[in-house]
């Protein structure tokens, strides 16, 4: 089955990818963002936050974006 996968790591990605039936959000995260900590990302399927064990469905849109993008002045 195919899903749309969007993330900014590596070369950046916003394209359709082939995934196996029954693949969970957590499994795909580990596969695609092996160096990342899940707590550093907002993981959404079809624009909604999801549990990590949710199984992906054909046509889903998985978006993984960074959290806590913050800046501060240098005192």
Partner 1 sequence: MLRFSPLAWAKLEYFCHRGDTEIGGFGVSKPNDLLAIEDFATLKQRTTAVSVVFDDAAVGDYFEAQVDAGRTPEQFARIWLHTHPGNCPQPSMTDELTFDRVFGNASWAVMFILARGGERYCRLRFNTGPGGAMVVPVEIDYAMPFAGSDHDGWRAEFNRNVHEEPVIVRGFANGSRRVEDPLDAFGEYNDALEPLLDADLFDFDFDECEVL
Residue located via tokens 């800046």? 71
Closer Cβ to partner 1, 21 or 72, answer by number: 72
Q: Yes or no: say if 3 and 12 are a contact pair by the CB < 8 Å rule.
A: no
Residues in contact with partner 1 by the rule CB under 8 A: 6-14, 33, 35-36, 40, 42, 44, 47, 61, 63, 65-75
Residue located via tokens 């900590």? 37
Could you tell me the smallest distance in angstroms from the CB atom of residue 33 to partner 1? 8
Q: Distance from CA of residue 10 to its chain's centroid?
A: 13
Could you tell me the smallest distance in angstroms from the CB atom of residue 47 to partner 1? 6
């Amino acid at each position: 089955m195919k899903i749309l996968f969007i993330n900014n790591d590596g070369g950046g990605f916003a394209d359709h990818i082939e995934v196996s039936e029954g693949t969970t959000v957590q499994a795909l995260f580990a596969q695609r963002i092996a160096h990342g900590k899940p707590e550093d990302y907002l993981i959404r399927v079809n624009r909604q936050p999801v549990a990590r064990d949710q199984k992906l469905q054909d046509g889903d849109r998985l978006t993984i974006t960074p959290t806590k993008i913050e800046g501060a002045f240098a005192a």
